[in-house]
Structure 1
Amino acid sequence: MSPRTVPAGTPLGDDFHVYDTTLRDGAQREGVSYSVADKLAVARHLDALGVGYIEGGWPGAMPKDTEFFARAAAGELELRHAALVAFGATRKAGTTAADDPQVRALLDSQAPVVTLVAKSDRRHIERALRTDVAENCAMVADTVAFLTNEGRRVFLDAEHFFDGFRFDPDTALRVLDAAVTAGADVAVLCDTNGGMLPLGIAETVAQVKDRTGFRLGIHCQDDTGCAVANSVAAVQAGATHVQLTANGYGERAGNADLFAVVGNLVTKLNMPVLPDGAFSEMTRTSHALAEIANIAPDTHQAYVGVAAFAHKAGLHASAIKVDPELYNHMDPVDVGNGQRVLVTEMAGRASVELKGAELGLDLAGRPDAVSSVVATVKERESQGWSFEAADASLELLMRAALNDTGLDDGTVLPFAIESYRVLIENRGGEVVTEATVKLVVDGERTIATCEGNGPVNALDAALRAALSPSRPWLADVELSDFKVRLLAPQGAGETRGTDAVTRVLVESTDGAGSWTTVGVHGNVVEASWLALVDAVAYAGLREGAPVAATAG
Structure 2
Amino acid sequence: MRQISIYDTTLRDGAQAEELNLTSDDKLRIAHKLDELGIHYIEAGWPGSNPTDKRFFEQIKGHVLTNAKLAAFGSTHLAKTTPENDPNLAALLEAETPVITIFGKTWDLHATTALGISLERNLELIANSVGYLKARVDEVFFDAEHFFDGFKNNPEYALLALRTAYEAGADRLILCDTNGGSMPFEVAKAMEAVTKSLPDAEFGIHAHNDSEAAVANSIEAVRLGASQVQGTINGYGERCGNANLCSVIPNLELKMGMKTIGKENMERLMVTSHFVSETANLRPFMRQPFVGVSAFAHKGGVHVSAILKDAKTYEHIVPETVGNKQRVLLSDQAGQSNILFKAEELGYDLKKGDPTVNRLLKDLKLKESMGYEYSVADASFELLLLKALGKPLNYFHFRNFFVVDAKREEDPEPFTEATVIVDVKGQVEHTAATGMGPVNALDRALRKGLERFYPNLREMRLLDFKVRVLSGAVRDTGGTASFVRVLIESGDKKERWTTMGVSHNIIEASWQAVVDAINYKLFRDDQRDSAE
TM-score, normalised on structure 2? 0.94
**Inter-partner Cα distance in structure 2 for 1:114 and 1:230:** 24
1:47–1:58 Cα change, 3 Å: same
In structure 2, what is the equivalent of residue 23 of structure 1? 11
Q: Determine whether 1:417 maps to 2:398.
A: yes
Assess if the C-alpha contact under 8 Å between 2:383 and 2:392 holds in 1.
no
Q: Determine whether 1:311 maps to 2:298.
A: yes
Alignment of 1:454-473 (within 5 A): 454-473=437-456
In structure 2, what is the equivalent of residue 48 of structure 1? 36
In structure 2, give the amino acid aligned to 1:79.
Answer: L
The partner residue of 1:483 within 466, 473, 484 is 466
In structure 2, what is the equivalent of residue 520 of structure 1? 502
How many residues align structurally?
A: 520
- Worse-superposed segment, 288-297 or 92-101: 92-101
User: What value does the CA root-mean-square deviation take over the aligned residues?
Assistant: 1.7
Question: How far does residue 489 in structure 1 lie from its aligned partner after superposition?
Answer: 4.1
Deviations 1:165-192 (A, max 9, x none): 0110000000000000111011111000
Q: Determine whether 1:336 maps to 2:319.
A: no
In structure 2, what is the equivalent of residue 384 of structure 1? 371
**Inter-partner Cα distance in structure 2 for 1:66 and 1:505:** 43
Q: Determine whether 1:235 maps to 2:217.
A: no
The partner residue of 2:259 within 272, 284, 301 is 272
**Inter-partner Cα distance in structure 1 for 2:83 and 2:118:** 18
The unaligned stretches of length 5 or more in structure 1 are 1-5, 7-11, 404-409, 493-498, 547-552
Question: How far does residue 491 in structure 1 lie from its aligned partner after superposition?
Answer: 6.9
- Worse-superposed segment, 30-39 or 523-532: 30-39
**Inter-partner Cα distance in structure 2 for 1:351 and 1:436:** 40
- Worse-superposed segment, 357-366 or 272-281: 357-366
1:138–1:224 Cα change, 3 Å: same
In structure 1, what is the equivalent of residue 278 of structure 2? 291
**Inter-partner Cα distance in structure 2 for 1:209 and 1:315:** 48
Deviations 1:274-327 (A, max 9, x none): 146211111111111111111111111111111111111111100011112221
In structure 1, what is the equivalent of residue 346 of structure 2? 359
Q: Determine whether 1:217 maps to 2:226.
A: no
Question: How far does residue 71 in structure 1 lie from its aligned partner after superposition?
Answer: 2.1
- Worse-superposed segment, 79-88 or 131-140: 131-140
Deviations 1:71-97 (A, max 9, x none): 223x1x211111111111112224321
Assess if the C-alpha contact under 8 Å between 1:340 and 1:358 holds in 2.
no
Question: How far does residue 31 in structure 1 lie from its aligned partner after superposition?
Answer: 1.5
Alignment of 1:77-92 (within 5 A): 77-92=63-78
Question: How far does residue 509 in structure 1 lie from its aligned partner after superposition?
Answer: 0.6
**Inter-partner Cα distance in structure 1 for 2:263 and 2:357:** 42
In structure 2, what is the equivalent of residue 495 of structure 1? none
1:543–1:93 Cα change, 3 Å: same
Question: How far does residue 411 in structure 1 lie from its aligned partner after superposition?
Answer: 3.5
**Inter-partner Cα distance in structure 2 for 1:400 and 1:185:** 66
**Inter-partner Cα distance in structure 2 for 1:133 and 1:121:** 10
Question: How far does residue 267 in structure 1 lie from its aligned partner after superposition?
Answer: 1.2
The unaligned stretches of length 5 or more in structure 2 are 476-480
Identity of aligned residues (%): 43
Aligned residue for 2:376, secondary structure, equals coil
**Inter-partner Cα distance in structure 2 for 1:316 and 1:289:** 32
The partner residue of 2:135 within 127, 141, 149 is 149
Aligned residue for 2:28, secondary structure, equals helix
In structure 1, what is the equivalent of residue 111 of structure 2? 125
Aligned residue for 1:321, secondary structure, equals helix
Assess if the C-alpha contact under 8 Å between 1:51 and 1:274 holds in 2.
yes
1:289–1:412 Cα change, 3 Å: closer
Aligned residue for 1:512, secondary structure, equals coil
**Inter-partner Cα distance in structure 2 for 1:101 and 1:518:** 58
Question: How far does residue 237 in structure 1 lie from its aligned partner after superposition?
Answer: 1.6
Aligned residue for 2:84, secondary structure, equals coil
The partner residue of 2:241 within 254, 267, 270 is 254
Q: Determine whether 1:449 maps to 2:432.
A: yes
**Inter-partner Cα distance in structure 2 for 1:458 and 1:151:** 63
The partner residue of 1:172 within 158, 162, 172 is 158
In structure 1, what is the equivalent of residue 478 of structure 2? none
TM-score, normalised on structure 1? 0.91
In structure 2, what is the equivalent of residue 496 of structure 1? none
Assess if the C-alpha contact under 8 Å between 1:221 and 1:255 holds in 2.
yes
